[in-house]
């Protein structure tokens, strides 16, 4: 378990780094975000809030940087991320709590489909290297070179505007009241289909290619040849010997690329006006809502860390060597 302990230690450091970055960025960058906000809202911000804004942005010059840092940590640990401007006076934590389930549902399922499906296709392509199936590689490369959001735009224009098969955006039909009714759940699924499809299509290429290349490398190892020579069935050699070893870098790659994946899907939500965290971020950018932006950054970082821990647990299960070290 030494491996897991080391990893958890690393994540603790990363979490600290993220919070500290979040604390330092508004204090190090030039400009006065509070003044530009007050100008922007033209007096609709009450004067009592102005001071708390300065405190929030760390422009409260009466206190030392260290004092501010300690107070910032106290706020974070109490779950207090400040008040949102766009949804004034709702606390940022509440805004995020409302939108997080949508993101987890959409991005989580789409990412799982993409990773599992992509790895399976990669296993096959790597095993049959040089066959017609290699033709899939350039096609998937094209999809991965296209920015996520542009594919989303294209799909909206084709499936939603031209052919009218699927709704162009939003999380559900606004005519329905949210609840566990069949009509509402159906509407949610219908609305999630297009964004999920786009996420899968644009992220699956990396998994296919990574798995294929690892399969190609692993299958020329001696133990694969020995397994073949023993007369084991091809399926057994493919999955039990080759794929099991080829998947290890894929799992650690998954943990590391989560940041990219999440970033891409955030933009996807913006395109589809999907009521998740990405769309909130989009609104926050439009309204210069710094507390909301920073809160979202923290929440996303922490979720990515949590998923990383999960990936590490999977790694320990797959690779016996990590267990022996203890």
Partner 1 sequence: MSNMPLDVVPVDAAAAAESAQVDTVVPSRQRFVFLRGAKAITGLVILGVFAVIAIVGPWIAPYDPDEMTADLLVHPSWHHLMGTDHLGRDIFSQLIVGTRGVMIVGLVAGVIATVLAIAVGVSAGFLGGVGDEVLSSLSNIFLVIPALPLIIIICSQLSDAGNFVVALVLAFTGWAWGARLLRAQTLSLRRRDFIEAARASGEKTWRIVWFETLPNLTAIIASSFISTVTFAVLSQTTLAFIGVTSVSDWSWGSILYWAQGNQALARGAWWWFVPAGLLIALLGMALSLVNFGIDEFVNPRLRLAGLTPREMRRRKIRPRIGFTVVAKDAPRAVARPAVVPVTELDEPADESLPADAVDAPTGFEPPASLRRSATPDSTGPADHEEAAR
SS (H, E, C) 106-124: HHHHHHHHHHHHHHHHHHH
Q: Which of 8, 18, 59, 176 binds partner 1 (CB under 8 A)?
A: 18
Contacts of 155 (CB under 8 A, 6+ apart): 194, 197, 198
CB of 131 to partner 1, least distance (A): 5
Q: Report the Cα–Cα distance between both ends of the chain, in Å, rounded.
A: 5
Q: Using the minimum distance from each CB to partner 1, give the nearer residue, 150 or 186.
A: 150
* Binding status of residue 296 toward partner 1 by CB under 8 A: yes
Q: Which of 146, 193, 232, 314 binds partner 1 (CB under 8 A)?
A: 146
Task: Report, in Å, the least distance between residue 182 CB and partner 1.
Answer: 30
Rule CB under 8 A: choose which of 23, 124, 127, 272 binds partner 1: 127
The yes or no reply on residue 267 touching partner 1 (CB under 8 A) is: yes
293 binds partner 1 (CB under 8 A): yes
| DSSP label at residue 78 | T
How many CB atoms lie under 10 A from the CB of residue 18? 17
Cβ-contact 144, 205 below 8 angstroms:
yes
Paired tokens of 187: 């509407």
Judged by CB under 8 A, does residue 115 bind partner 1? no
117 or 259: CB nearest partner 1? 259
- CA–CA dist 243, 289 (Å, integer): 47
Give the nearer residue to partner 1 in terms of CB position, either 86 or 267. 267
Judged by DSSP in three states, 204 sits in helix
Which residue, 142 or 165, is less far from partner 1 as judged by CB?
A: 142
Question: To the nearest whole angstrom, how small is the minimum distance from the Cβ of residue 4 to partner 1?
Answer: 12
CA-to-CA distance for 33 and 54, rounded, in angstroms? 9
Q: Of 73-81, 89-97, 98-106, 264-272, which segment contacts partner 1 by CB under 8 A?
A: 264-272
Closest CA to 271 of 184, 189, 198, 176: 198
Return left, alpha or beta for 129; rule: phi > 0 is left, psi -120 to 50 is alpha, else beta. Answer: beta
Q: Is 62 left (phi over 0), alpha (psi -120 to 50) or beta?
A: alpha
In the bound state with partner 1, the residue whose beta carbon lies nearer, of 153 and 193, is 153
Query: What residues between 223 and 262 interact with partner 1 by CB under 8 A?
Result: 224-225, 228, 242, 245-246, 248-249, 252, 255-256, 258-260, 262
Distances (CA, A) of 292 to 174, 245, 295: 25, 43, 5
User: Footprint of partner 1 on residues 149-208 (CB under 8 A)?
Assistant: 149-151, 153-154, 156-157, 160-162, 168
Q: How far is the CB of 238 from partner 1 (least distance, A)?
A: 9
Binding letters toward partner 1, positions 31-70, x by CB under 8 A: x-x--x----------------------------------
Q: What string of DSSP letters covers 9-45?
A: HHHHHHHHHHHHHHHHHHHHSSS-HHHHHHHHHTT-S
Residue with Cβ nearer partner 1 (139 or 185):
139
Tell the smallest beta-carbon distance from residue 68 to partner 1 (Å).
17
Q: Among residues 2 and 51, whose Cβ is nearest to partner 1?
A: 2
Residue 245 Cβ, how far from partner 1 at the closest point, in Å?
A: 6
Region of 39-47, 66-74, 94-102, 210-218 interacting with partner 1 (CB under 8 A): 210-218
């Amino acid at each position: 378990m030494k491996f897991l302990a080391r990893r958890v230690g690393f994540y603790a450091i990363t979490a600290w780094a993220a919070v500290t970055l979040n604390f330092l960025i508004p204090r190090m960058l030039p400009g006065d975000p509070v003044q530009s906000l007050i100008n922007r809202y033209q007096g609709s911000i009450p004067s009592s809030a102005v001071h708390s804004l300065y405190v929030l942005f760390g422009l409260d010059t009466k206190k030392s940087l260290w004092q501010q840092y300690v107070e910032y940590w106290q706020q974070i640990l109490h779950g207090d991320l400040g008040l949102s401007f766009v949804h004034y006076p709702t606390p940022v934590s509440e805004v995020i709590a409302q939108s997080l389930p949508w993101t987890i549902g959409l991005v989580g399922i789409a990412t799982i489909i993409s990773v599992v499906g992509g790895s399976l296709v990669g296993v096959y392509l790597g095993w049959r290297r040089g066959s017609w199936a290699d033709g899939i590689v350039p096609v998937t490369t094209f999809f991965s070179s296209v920015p996520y959001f542009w594919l989303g735009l294209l799909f909206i224009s084709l499936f939603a505007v031209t052919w009218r098969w699927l709704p162009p955006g939003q999380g559900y039909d606004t005519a329905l009241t949210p609840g566990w009714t069949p009509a509402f759940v159906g509407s949610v699924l219908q609305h999630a289909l297009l964004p999920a499809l786009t996420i899968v299509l644009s992220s699956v290429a990396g998994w296919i290619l990574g798995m294929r290349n690892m399969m190609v490398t692993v299958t020329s190892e001696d133990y694969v040849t020995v397994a073949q020579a023993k007369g084991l069935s091809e399926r057994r050699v493919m999955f039990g010997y080759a794929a099991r070893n080829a998947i290890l870098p894929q799992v650690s790659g998954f943990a590391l690329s989560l940041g990219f994946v999440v970033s891409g899907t955030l933009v996807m939500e913006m395109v589809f006006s999907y009521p998740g965290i990405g769309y909130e971020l989009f609104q926050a950018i439009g309204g210069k809502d710094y507390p909301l932006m920073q809160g979202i950054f923290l929440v996303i970082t922490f979720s990515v860390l949590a998923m990383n821990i999960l990936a590490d647990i999977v790694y320990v299960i797959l690779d016996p060597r990590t267990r022996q070290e203890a």
